[in-house]
Amino acid sequence: MTARSRRVSAAMVVAIGLLIVTIVLPPSAASAAPPVLAPGGTLTVPGGAANFGHSVAISGNTAIVGAPAFTSTPGTAYIYVKPKGGAWPAGPSVTLLDPASTAGDNFGVSVAISGNTAIVGAEGTNSLAGTAYIYKRVGSIWPPIPTATLTYPSPAPGDQFGISVAISGTTAIVGAGSYATDGAAFIYQKVGLTWSLKATVTDSSANPHWGFGQPVAISGNTAIVGAIGAGSGGCNAAPCGAVDVYVKPTSGWTPTGSPTATLSDPGAMQNDYFGNSVAIAGRTILAADYDANPPSAGPAYIFKRPTTGWASTSTPTKTLADPAPGTDDSFGLAVAVSGTTAIVGAYSAPPASTGDAYVYRQAGGGWPATPTASKNPWPVPVSAGFFGIAVAVSGTTAVVGAPSGSGDAYIFKGA
């Protein structure tokens, strides 16, 4: 796995108990307005699961949480369904087990959901060649058996296919961060009952960025792929990282399409790792640095699609800076956006990596540069944490993962 993965090993976490969710607001926000998101529940697994909360996704009233284990167990994923007019259940509605049932598969390392379809990555299968599985709700029931297993050309050990997944309607994208050394992403389309590979995209620049495909995202007919490195030279030179934007042609995805646009690192600094995390919703792209200056302090950038379409000259309309720079809090390692709500995770924020997640709410004047609210259900013993290692949002309902110990995921609902 590449050095900039957000994986948390079992040795890094210790057990914590069930926690009460509270809201922590910056002083200015606390005096000016009520919180944007309020506590909505805690998702757990009876008995716990290793690294539960390492990956999260949400679509409407359904959330999915990954627990990839990263140990001698295969990994699991859990689906939670909020009943109409009811509260989010503490326990899962269905448990998804690794179909291969093989230790070290890392099933659940990535998860995504769109409507009645979910996708789970298992980048550790077959000596890290990787696999991804599709699940489809039937009526009100989520069967625990996948309806499709996604494959890709010429799999090889170490490709890490499934390290990232995303889905929008009948289109899915799967990243393979080490495919053919520099990485690739694979776009699938559902036609009838069959999911078919439609496009394989790679970094086509003269000096390809490594880690291409470690993060992927999709919304409608637009897919984005982050590449966190800076070519064969790593990130010891600027710019560091890029985000490729692919817009589906009217004739359909082409087998080896070129990007519609490439968004470059706005900071243009070495060790930025721009594109380490990406998200998209409609005309809005959110992409973050991971290790800018000061270390592990972001920032994250919001790009708005011009009326003429995405172009490589596109620049951010807003820069979201780390509210606590200099703390090595991993601001920007996870990002999410939906409508007028964006979230940036900072899983190692102090004290002692308890973590934080910052919420930004778009208003009439555009996106704010400072968070509208900060969400952290701590304080707890300083040995626990990693809140914000994974974030997701659907409308104004968010889910934040905290994989420390037996793990938890927290729901926040719109005010």
The model's pLDDT over 356-403, given as tens digits with 9 standing for 90+, comes to 888 998 887 789 888 887 766 544 433 447 889 999 999 989 999 989
Amino acid at 92: P
Give the tens place of pLDDT for each residue, 183-227: 999 999 999 989 999 999 998 765 666 789 999 999 999 999 998
Give the SS3 label for residue 244: strand
Give the pLDDT of residue 383.
41
Give the pLDDT of residue 41.
81
Number of C-beta neighbours around residue 161 at 10 A: 31
> What one-character-per-residue DSSP string does 30-99 give?
HHHS--SEEEEEEE--TT--TTTTSEEEEETTEEEEEE--SSSS--EEEEEEPPTTSPPPSS-SEEEEPT
Please tell me the distance from the alpha carbon of residue 338 to that of residue 346, in angstroms, as a whole number: 19
In the sheet that 242-247 helps form, which strands lie side by side, from edge to edge? 216-219, 222-227, 242-247, 261-264
- What does R_g of the chain's alpha carbons equal in angstroms? 19
Give the pLDDT of residue 318.
94
Tens place of pLDDT per residue across the chain (415 aa): 333 445 443 333 322 233 323 223 233 333 333 344 667 788 888 888 889 999 999 999 999 999 999 887 999 999 999 999 899 998 999 999 999 999 999 999 999 999 999 999 999 999 999 999 999 999 999 999 999 999 999 999 999 999 999 999 999 999 999 998 889 999 999 999 899 999 999 987 656 667 899 999 999 999 999 988 765 555 666 667 889 999 999 999 989 878 999 998 887 666 678 888 999 999 999 999 876 666 667 789 999 999 999 999 999 999 998 887 766 788 899 999 999 999 999 888 777 677 888 899 888 778 988 888 776 654 443 344 788 999 999 998 999 998 987 788 989 887 6
Give the pLDDT of residue 13.
31
The answer to whether the CB of 277 falls within 8 A of the CB of 335 is yes
Both ends of the chain: CA-CA distance in Å? 39
